[in-house]
């Protein structure tokens, strides 16, 4: 779903990653379901890719609250 949304928004992988502040390889892994985003990254991607409500719901359902940028150890650093 993320890859389709990115293409619909007119972004190449590197451009979308840059706009979202992500590494392109991480965005690729998210798009190919090799990784799941943190809630924070999901919110950023929803805005950058201009996801509709159904897409946002799908992305937020997959997001985890204690991964990546939302991990408790990273928040306190």
In the chain, how many domains are there?
1
CA distances (Å), origin 7, targets 14, 18, 25:
12, 15, 16
Say if residue 10's pLDDT is above 70: yes
Say if residue 15's pLDDT is above 70: yes
Q: What is the DSSP letter of 64?
A: B
Q: How confident is the model at residue 74 (pLDDT cuts 50, 70, 90)?
A: low
Inter-axis angle of helices 39-48 and 13-20, nearest 10: 120
**Sign of the torsion formed by the C-alpha atoms of 46, 49, 53 and 57:** negative
CATH of the domain at 38: 1.10.260.40
- Per-residue pLDDT of 28-71, as tens digits, reads 999 999 999 999 999 999 999 999 999 999 999 999 987 666 55
Range of the domain at 21: 2-76
């Amino acid at each position: 779903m993320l890859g389709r949304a990115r293409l619909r928004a007119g972004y190449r992988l590197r451009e979308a990653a840059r706009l979202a502040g992500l590494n392109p390889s991480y965005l690729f892994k998210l798009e190919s379901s090799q990784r799941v985003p943190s809630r924070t990254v999901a919110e950023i991607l929803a805005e950058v890719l201009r996801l509709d409500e159904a897409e946002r719901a799908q992305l937020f359902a997959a997001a985890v609250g204690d991964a990546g940028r939302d991990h408790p150890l990273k928040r306190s650093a």
